[in-house]
Chain A
């Protein structure tokens, strides 16, 4: 409008694809939108603030004596376990919120814009890493207050935190997929909990594997969550990185490679 006239369609330079840098830019803009939304509705952050505090306190004092003899000895075991469990549980919310968001009219506009198809999804998932960061920091801080002094040093603790955040981001693609195909937000929550509850508890997060029956040990050792927990323990408690770290990172990459494309596909097909 104004006095400027509109450039006719025939005189425009048009491309039928989106370049990688554009895709990245679109995703970052969408992530910025996600951050603005969090700033506008800070009550969204309730779960990631309360859960780490509550769980760390509860599990440490309930199980500490029974499993490691005393609380101080249990802290190096439980803090990495709680960290992984909390942050990954938080990633469910990503799927639920994506579902709610997609039902709004604004997603129609995103679809009608000449932007990378993956951007609205990748942006939402990227913005949620702020939630994982909050949960990670709070868990370590709670541990510190209770007397946890990781032997690996601060740099390895930070590294461990980043790895947990990265893996959770990867796993959130699974829940994003549920979010896209599910009909309601509450069903996303339901399905995700059913998947995640056994996965986090049938792991070495809270108790030593050796105390479990043989058939269960077999599953627990296979469970990717166990590998991630072990990787975090190695890094935070002794500053070492081993196979478990490699397996965790490879697993995360595989999840993204599988779930990102099928999620975008499902998102495109939804009318």
Chain B
């Protein structure tokens, strides 16, 4: 049965539809189950985000999909090719950019790219041209001859990504592509990733930043303790948490009580108030009723200073699904409140075991 399924899958899709199909991936380090039965399906031509806190098993999952690590159990196919039995084929279809730069520190940027190009079968001339082309594209031409020791974090990441693109692989793994980058470099990296997908690449990226997944990914898998705990589009994930909410602010503070009464009458839901700013919030199921509410407020003579309708942030999604906030570093990109409780952070540390591999 299983055999038939596999053959059928290979024949039908021939790897055209699914870039990644992983089923039941498990990897154990000692008694730490870093990855504990991960299923992933990534459609060709999409950006797929794997979102989770430090130590959730993101990197280990990517390493298994990229043939760098052999799964204990489970199967994974890249464009229909098994990562274990056809690993050499898989390697011809992927580009991998690690969390730490996987380039040669002792050499210059040009030398790095030429060596990788030569290894990928380009001739001396082609390799030279390719290196120049990529360096220009990633704005590294001026630094091309300097040894990498003097490169900034952002430059190193860019070179790393450039090296992954030499063979123009149809699938690119990006492991935390923007961790530790400043906001400007981060948004440059986002643009680059978006451009990649436009040319037909599929991108699978991991991130601990909720905003990053929200901004880039067509679909998101939320992963925690080595398991996928939620999967869907950003909107679906937000929806699964709850409806939108209405945020109101009135000009005169004495109108607050009156406004809240009106909200309860018109929307037929209880409202809340945030203490510090005097902002009234109310869950909103039917957007149409907002018109009625605004008319009622006008006829009562209550002037508004601010009104908005907000969907829940992915941070709230994460909080709802996992019961704890994502322990991001909050480099300005992650949504408002990502500071994990110290207790939760230590819990991750203690089960990570292998410092770098999660």
Contact = CB atoms under 8 A, between A and B. Distances in A.
Interface of A: 1-2, 4-10, 12, 14-18, 22, 25-26, 29-30, 32-33, 36-37, 40-41, 104-115, 119, 271
- Describe B's contact surface by its main secondary structure: loop
B357 A271 contact: yes
Contact of B91 (A37, A105, A112): A112
B96 A109 contact: yes
Given A5-B199, A12-B93, A112-B67, A106 B103 contact: yes
Residue from A1, A17, A25 with most neighbouring chain B CB atoms (10 Å)? A1
A113 B147 CA distance: 23
15 contacts: A6-B200, A9-B80, A10-B16, A12-B92, A14-B81, A14-B89, A15-B89, A33-B107, A36-B115, A41-B106, A105-B100, A108-B102, A114-B89, A114-B92, A114-B120
Interface of B: 14-16, 19, 44, 63, 66-69, 78-81, 85-89, 91-96, 98, 100-107, 111, 115-116, 118-121, 133, 137, 147, 163, 165, 168-171, 195-196, 199-201, 357
Nearest to B69: A271
The 4 A-B pairs with the shortest beta carbon distances in the complex, nearest first, are A9-B79, A114-B91, A109-B102, A105-B102
A14 B92 contact: yes
Contact of B106 (A40, A105, A107, A111): A40
B163 A109 contact: yes
Contacts of B91: 112-114
B68 A108 contact: yes
B166 to A, nearest CB: 9
A6 B200 CA distance: 6
Contacts of A106: 102-105
Contacts, number: 125
B86 A16 contact: yes
Contacts of B101: 105
Given A9-B44, A114-B88, 19 more contacts: A1-B137, A1-B199, A5-B200, A7-B170, A8-B16, A10-B15, A25-B118, A36-B115, A37-B106, A41-B106, A104-B104, A105-B103, A106-B103, A112-B66, A112-B91, A112-B95, A113-B119, A113-B120, A114-B92
A183 to B, nearest CB: 13
B98 A105 contact: yes
Contacts of B196: 1
Nearest to A120: B119
Contact of A111 (B68, B100, B116, B170): B68
Contacts of A37: 104, 106-107
Interface centre among A18, A32, A114 (most CB of B within 10 A): A114
Name, among A36, A109, A113, A115, the residue most crowded by chain B CB atoms within 10 Å (CB to CB): A109
Contacts of A115: 119-120
Nearest to A8: B170
Contacts of A41: 106
Contacts of B171: 9
Contacts of B96: 108-109, 112
B104 A10 contact: no
